[in-house]
Amino acid sequence: MKEHESIKKLFQLYISGKHFSQTGRALFGKWLRAPQDQETKEDQLHQYWETVENKISDNTWHDWNRLQAQLTTPTLQKKTFHIQWMRYAAAIALLIISISGTYWATTRHILQQPVEMVELFVQHGDTREILLPDSSRIWVNAGSTVLYPANFEKMDSRTVYLTGEASFNVHKDPEKPFIVKTSALNVQALGTVFTVKSYTSENYTTATLEQGSIQVSLKEKPDETYILKPSEQLIYSHINHTVQQNKVDLSLYKLMRKGYLIFENVPFKQLAKELEKKYGVTFLYNSTRYENDLYCIKFAPDETIEDVMEILHQLMNIQYTIKGNHIIVK
């Protein structure tokens, strides 16, 4: 179910029309036709079909035939299309073509090259470390999705799409810049260690630099860029569309990458969200009761949710009951 949710999020980001670059749209087309998770993709296409059916025309079917020719490799030409893909052919054409009138002129050379996309979803209560094709490493936090090409050799850049939070240790390659794309920011680095946090449920996106340097640009203002030095953090507000730069304590970030949960003057709402992601639980509480409380506390990687709640009880006198994966705070 978690994997299905990540596919749904990718469709939503793509349909919005503003989160994928020209290269990203080409990669999305390849990923869409890949055999994995076909049933879930068809379900999303069915939902999209129902919203755009009145927009279907003869030109749409012509566009679909062009799209099919571009996306089909010689091996795939020998195979019969899955009946559902033909049923939603017009939806696919609209989905990919309508977002950019210059799509065919700018991406045809990319589509002629087979690109296998790798999609990883890390469910709540888990974290993952992955090795990219260029030997860069990513530590992916709970509730996060990353999408990237299985091979960077045919690409002009090393582009990774992120929803959630991940830390990056980038292998140097001056000829192919390493770029992390989120819904609000593009973060570019050549050889560095940094963290990007961009959950769809939160009102801000952050980029924090540990080593090297990174260039951060805004999706809505691509010409507005910021160069970060080690120990600097950029915070972009989705609500106010403002940028703030702060100095951070790198020792805390390195501990957090090792699995520690560290809170400094955070409201209970934020503390509960982070615990939900790490332990895969749901907090039930009266938000007005705790809206003015701030917490400063640290939890070790090996502590269970039972340990965490008992610490909160001992230090902050929080009364609670655990029922399955629900934490009821009194």
80 pLDDT tier (thresholds 50, 70, 90): very low
What gap in Å lies between CA 34 and CA 276, rounded to an integer?
A: 32
Check residue 265 and give its pLDDT. 86
Spell 137-152 as b/e; 16+ CB within 10 A means b.
ebbbbbbbbbbbbeeb
Q: How far is CA 301 from CA 67, 125, 275, 318, in A?
A: 48, 12, 12, 21
Confidence check: pLDDT of 98 > 50? no
Check residue 104 and give its pLDDT. 38
Query: For the segment 244-287, what is each residue's pLDDT rounded down to a tens digit?
Result: 999 988 888 788 878 888 888 889 988 999 999 889 899 999 88
Confidence check: pLDDT of 108 > 50? no
Confidence check: pLDDT of 207 > 90? yes
CATH of 117-252, one of 2.40.50.140, 3.90.1170.30, 2.60.120.1440, 3.30.200.20: 2.60.120.1440
Query: Beta partners for 193?
Result: 169, 211
On whether the CB atoms of residues 160 and 179 are closer than 8 A, the answer is: yes
Q: How far is CA 202 from CA 138, 183, 274, in A?
A: 21, 12, 11
Check residue 119 and give its pLDDT. 84
Check residue 22 and give its pLDDT. 53
- Top-confidence range, 40-49, 91-100, 104-113, 286-295: 286-295
Check residue 224 and give its pLDDT. 87
Check residue 76 and give its pLDDT. 37
Domain boundaries, the chain: 2-111, 117-252, 260-329
What gap in Å lies between CA 200 and CA 157, rounded to an integer?
A: 25
Confidence check: pLDDT of 155 > 50? yes
Q: What is the DSSP string of 61-129?
A: HHHHHHHHHHH--HHHHTSPPPHHHHHTHHHHHHHHHTT-TTHHHHHHHHHTS---EEEEEE-TT--EE
The per-residue pLDDT of the chain, averaged, comes to 77
CATH fold for domain 260-329: Phage tail protein beta-alpha-beta fold (3.55.50)
Q: Greater confidence, 63 or 156?
A: 156
Q: Greater confidence, 233 or 23?
A: 233
